Amino acid sequence: MPRERLQREIIQELGKRLDPKSLSAWFSCLNLKTINSDSIVFETPNPFISNWIRQNYHDDLARAASQILGAKVAVCYEINPDMAPAADEPLEPQKPRRAEKPATATAAPVIGLNPDFRFDNFVVGPSNQFAYAACQAVAEKKARNYNPLFIYGGVGLGKTHLLCAIGNALHLADPRLRIICIQAETFMNEMILAIRNETMDQFRRLYRKECDVLLMDDIEIIAGKERTQEEFFYTFNDLHSVGKKIIFTSDKYPKEMTTLEERLRSRFESGILVDIQPPEFETRLAILKRRAEMENINLPHEVAVYMAESVRANIRKLEGSLIRLSAVSSISGSPISVALAEEVIRAILDDSESALSSETVIKTVAAHFKIKPSDIKSQKRNRKYAVPRQIAMYLCRELCRLSYPEIGAAFGGRDHSTVIHSCRKVGIDKNTDLEMSRQLENLKRQLKAG
């Protein structure tokens, strides 16, 4: 990816966190100089601007850069007095585009939708096909009982993409729909601000009366926040009682949210729950090739295969590694190759993620419980073997980031539904069983230490 485009995307991402005036005042004169495997360097024309950004916006800039590159990077600054003055039209965050449909006089405002997240550019595979089908059914109004729709799965697997795809499809079909797509944390912060400013009436009117479709990302954030849960409970009831669509995403199954109020949990589970699993190799390869085509990146097949084999758990990290590979290639002048990809991916993956296998997990868990690895893979059902087997499956899911079918294959060819049940059971039990929680932490520590 050309350096100018990479900088533009970082500034656009930063614009989601800062107001336009601050963005224009302090970042229009920023220049992306270099990108390395674990750091990125920006130039500023003088120490004053550099120090001000470092003191006031450094964390925001680092988060924006890491989001675009798909992995955490250190942001550094250099002074270049010869830099040209800021352009007349400073960089500003890209304004959200509505779904591609001719504007009408009755078109309603759409809040927070990313127009680039659509069904037609979502790569479907065995790991996400049920979630994809459920989301399409909601968007096409074929499943009235899918309300609410609760999408859960690990970080970076495409939950937000599907969430926005629903909103974009609904808006395309009916521009009159008032659609709000929002992070649960933003909902909470807006509520706090409304309480302070004594504007709760306006806040409630927006979310309860002026909303036809509520798309809320990362709903697990509100667990344990009593005031937010109370406000959202009544918001949910108001919308649901009149048939308004409600869709959530979460990285936790509702029963795993131990600090979530029971009345909310029951409502989350009253519709349909769908999960997204880590993608299989073929899906990862298809995602890489689709993204490379979108970004006009000439990605050799052998490089794509290497990357798809190396980055298994996280689509966001997989796509970020591609963007970083393109940027490093463009800035360094080196052609995209397997060797360059190895260097880039080494900086993105931590040691435990890149090296840990299901066999290692099985052997470690077996040794901990003083049984044989073959016992864990066997069909023995008594508790002595069943509990270690469930724990090993859970750790394979969390640490190896394998899909349910991949875990099932590693455990003697078990069906993926058995793996799902085991992982959910351990995920729930660890919150109430102190001994299991300690065992899990000890095993994680041992596995990560190698």
Tens-digit pLDDT profile for residues 15-60 = 887 777 778 778 888 888 888 767 888 988 877 677 788 878 888 8
Q: Which of 91, 412, 427 is nearest to 255 (CA)?
A: 427
Residue type, position 99, single letter: A
Question: In the structure, what pLDDT confidence band is assigned to residue 86 with cuts at 50, 70 and 90?
Answer: very low
**42, β-bridge pairs:** 32, 77
Mean pLDDT calculated for residue range 133-159: 89
pLDDT of residue 47: 72
Structure tokens at 68: 């675009």
pLDDT at residue 2 tops 80: no
Is the link from the previous residue into 148 a cis peptide, with omega within 30 of 0? yes
| CATH class of the structural domain 110-276 | alpha beta
**CATH assignment of 3-79, among 3.40.630.10, 3.40.50.300, 3.40.605.10, 3.30.300.180:** 3.30.300.180
pLDDT at residue 353 tops 90: no
Measured between alpha carbons, how far is 406 from 314 in angstroms, rounded to an integer?
15
Higher per-residue pLDDT: 22 or 291: 291
Q: Where are the domains of the chain?
A: 3-79, 110-276, 281-349, 356-449
pLDDT at residue 299 tops 80: yes
pLDDT at residue 88 tops 50: no
**CATH assignment of 281-349, among 1.10.275.10, 1.10.8.60, 2.40.440.10, 3.40.50.920:** 1.10.8.60
pLDDT of residue 67: 84
In this chain, the answer to whether the domains covering 3-79 and 281-349 adopt an identical fold is no
pLDDT of residue 103: 41
**150, β-bridge pairs:** 248, 273
Structure tokens at 417: 């539904």
Measured between alpha carbons, how far is 215 from 189 in angstroms, rounded to an integer?
16
pLDDT of residue 352: 45
pLDDT at residue 105 tops 60: no
pLDDT at residue 228 tops 90: yes
Residue type, position 186, single letter: T
Mean pLDDT calculated for residue range 164-171: 95
Structure tokens at 75: 């942001």
pLDDT of residue 450: 58
Measured between alpha carbons, how far is 286 from 284 in angstroms, rounded to an integer?
5
pLDDT at residue 74 tops 80: yes
Q: Which of 287, 280, 253 is nearest to 394 (CA)?
A: 253
Measured between alpha carbons, how far is 330 from 67 in angstroms, rounded to an integer?
19
pLDDT of residue 263: 95
CB 400 within 8 A of CB 357: yes
**What's the CATH number for 356-449?**
1.10.1750.10
